[in-house]
Structure formats: structure tokens, C-alpha cells
Structure 1
Amino acid sequence: MSDAPSLQSTGEGYEYVRCRANGADDTVYIHRLLYVAEHGFDALPAHYEVHHRQSVPWLNVPGNLVAVEPEAHSRHHLHDDSLASSP
């Protein structure tokens, strides 16, 4: 049995789609979907993260999103390091 996909959000305001089907429970964040829709699958390596340039988690518009390597993303948020451009 499967449920219809549903739009939900985290306590921090990040929006995501949740889909339950055949015992699986999968989620994907809206900013990740939008980045792929704008730039294509090949522009977002599987291990990369999508960063909001402005610190507004629900501001999911193309100009506010950039693909970043996970370690650089962590350094940016923990130590205010600058981010390199998308791959």
C-alpha cells in the first residue's frame, strides 16, 4: 500500500516531499528538486549538498541555491568560510 506524496517541513522551515510506498519511506528536499530541475541531474553530484545563499530555508528560488561539496558547506556554516561555486 502507498500513500500519496505529501509536502512537509522541518522545524527549521526546510520544505520536503515525503512518499511512502511498499514499505519504503523516502523524502527529498524541495531545494534539491528545484536545483536539479533548473540545472539537470548531472549538475548535482550525488554527494553534494544544495545551499541557500540567503539564510532563509523556505526561499527556494533558483538564484538562492548553489551546489556545494559537503565539507565546504559545513565549514561555511561552522566557521563562516566562503563557498566555492557549483561544480
Structure 2
Amino acid sequence: MRDRLFLAWLLLLLLSAASTAFAELAGAGLLDPRGLAWGGALLLGVTWLKSRTILGAYLRLDQTPAARRVFSGVLFLYLVLLAGLFLAPLA
């Protein structure tokens, strides 16, 4: 169990580093509006991975697959809605 939590922590650390790198690029103005919108949508994917890691490893929802599916499904739908809002200006 301890190794599993450590691996989850490492994954969260790497995903947080990716989020920070994107924020630095966006803050420095190195992304055009199109790249910013797509990057924001991809950042929501990172958020979904982080939430699944927390739900599965730390809240132990991996032991109850039905509950994990419900939580992951609701989060996925919410993040898809937010991705649509990020990408709406491109349409």
C-alpha cells in the first residue's frame, strides 16, 4: 500500500509540474490565443488525471469500481463542459 501511495504522489507531482510549466508559458506571453485555448483544454485533462489519482489512491475508490466510475464520470462531464468554454472562442 505504501508503494502505491508513493507512486500516486509522484504522479501528482509530475502533473503539477506540467500545470506550473503551462502557467509560466502563459504568464510570460509565449502562447498565442489559439495555443492558450488548446493548452487550457489540455490542462483540464491533467486535472482529470490528478482527480482520478486522488480518488483512486488516497480515497481508495479503486476498491469500489462503481463509485469510482460515478465520481470519474461526473468529473469528466464537468471538465468537458469547461473545455467547451475554453474552446468556444476558437469556433
Tell me whether the two structures share a fold, i.e. TM-score over 0.5.
no
Task: Calculate the TM-score normalised by the size of structure 1.
Answer: 0.27
More strand as a share of residues = 1
Task: Calculate the TM-score normalised by the size of structure 2.
Answer: 0.27
Which protein has the larger Cα radius of gyration, Structure 1 or Structure 2? 2
More helix as a share of residues = 2
